[in-house]
Structure formats: C-alpha cells, structure tokens
Structure 1
C-alpha cells in the first residue's frame, strides 16, 4: 500500500508541475514572440476586427484603443502567467520532496495559489472580460474556446490535487 500512496502523491505533484510548466511556457512564449499575441490583445481590446454579423453599436464604447493601454494590459497578462507558473512549480517541487510527509499540503497550497492566478487570467480575463465585455465571441480574434480549455484543465487539476488520499492507501 505504501507504494500506491507514493504513486498517488507523485501523480499529484506531476500534474501540478505540468500546469506550472504550461503557464511558464505561455508566458515565455509571449515574451520572446511578443508581437504575435500582442496583435490578438490589441484587436480584442480595440474591438476593431469584428465579424460582419456583429452590429455592436451599443457596446463599442467599451473599446480600449490606446496603444499604451494595450501594452500595459498585455504585459500584465504575461506577468500573471509567469506568476501562476512559478507558484504552481514551487508547489510541485514542495509536493515532490514531501510525498509521504505532512508538508505535502504546503505544496498543494502553493499550487492552488498559482492555479487561482491562472484561472484569473484565462477564465476571468479572457473568457469573462475579453469574451463578454469586449465581445471577443464576435471578434475575428476569438480565443474564448482556448481560454475555456485552459481554465477547465486547470480547474480539474485543482480538484484532483485536492482529493484526499483514499483510505485504502493510507498507512
């Protein structure tokens, strides 16, 4: 049973690492290839590349057209992606080194902090604010489905990582 408990805990640490590594790769990619996703953020905020079916005259006043604000908000997105990644990886490392110890929950706490930041970026930032406030759903630069996909995987990871060790694996 001890080996099963070890594998169970190791699995949680690995999933935490995968989420953190994902966040770090996304943030790093946005830094080294700044212009690619900056264009995405710029068009969504400006609401300037809407689909032909979208009238939007009642909400177009929400658009942010200042290039300065585009850069500020994009850099905040990158910053929060990196913070999420760092917290999740720290959590994973703590879990790895405490697989059969009481400090395992400290790693889980770090992971939950990072996952919360990640969900704030992709669910709240992209799906809610981008999707609804800036009508990204009607924009040719629509990233809502990716945002939902990222958010769902992260939320499922949170649930899995917080599930208690089954009683039959406890020693």
Structure 2
C-alpha cells in the first residue's frame, strides 16, 4: 500500500507543479512572456552567432507560442492530477486494476517529459541557442523538471516485486 500511495502522491506533485506554472504564467504574464520573447528573438545570444537566422521576430507569433506553451502545461496538470485521482481510487484494488489506473498519469508524465525536454532543451536550448544567453537561459530549470518528471515516470511504471502494484 505504501508504494501505491507514494506513486499517487508523486504523480499529484507533478500535476501540482504544472498547475502552479500555469497560474504563474497567467498571473504574471509579462514576466514570463519576456522570457519567451528573448528566446525567440535570439536577441541575447552571442553576438558572433551565425544561427540568428532562426529568430522569430513576430510579436503575434510570440503570443501564439506562449499560449500554446500554457495550454500544454495545463494539459500536463490535468492529466497528472486526473491520473493521480485515478490511482487514488484504485489504491485498494488488485494489481491489474491499479496498473490500468496508471494510464492517464503515464500520458501526463510523458507529455511533461517531452514538453520540457523537446520544448526547452531541444527547441529553445539548441534551435534558438538559449544556452548562449546569460540572462534568459532556462535550461537548468528545464533539466530539473525533466529529472523529476523522468524519475516519477519510471517509478510509476516499475513493477513491484511484492505484487503490490
């Protein structure tokens, strides 16, 4: 039972993280929007960079991309919190039922991993060379999210040798 409770709470924690991120993006829109603008315009990368042809200067596209980011973060929150609810409801059930209850959480955690890895490490970090910016480099926070989410995703889906999960 302890392993099931642990898995449920960790999935809920990732859902809570995503929900708070969405709340922060909505309530402090401009602060986080500036981050998106600087990354997309590549205005703080190394001056000699030969990759700035990739920059997106359109303020309308910045708004759209920021909205898409918030929608994805919202989906992560809903999937993880919904997944945690399903896990909680199945805590006392047999192993097959509990394993089936992992589906929504697995989707949410996978989306979170892909979002922070592909979105922030690959696209922002490498394509828009965010790593070159001293002020607008979000790779370290993204990597922390990836690590936490990856751990929870693996832990959730580990088989339990005590047949508890």
* TM-score tier (shorter): over 0.9
Match of 1:165 in 2: 160
Q: CA RMSD in A?
A: 1.5
1:45-79, CA deviations, whole angstroms, 9 ceiling, x for partnerless residues?
A: 0001224xx511x2111000100000000110010
Residue 93 (str. 1) matches residue 85 (str. 2): yes
- 1:118 is matched with 112
Name the CA distance, whole Å, in 2 between partners of 1:82 and 1:103: 27
TM value normalised by structure 2 = 0.93
The Cα of 1:100 is off from its aligned counterpart by 2.6
Tell whether the 8 Å contact from 1:115 to 1:158 is kept in structure 2 after alignment. Answer: yes
Matched residue count: 162
For the residues of structure 1 that align with 2:122 and 2:23, how far apart are their CA atoms?
Answer: 24
Larger radius of gyration: 1
* 2:140 alignment partner in structure 1: 145
Which residue in 1 is equivalent to 2:125? 131
User: Does 1:35 find its partner at 2:30?
Assistant: yes
Runs of 5+ in structure 2 lacking a partner?
Answer: none
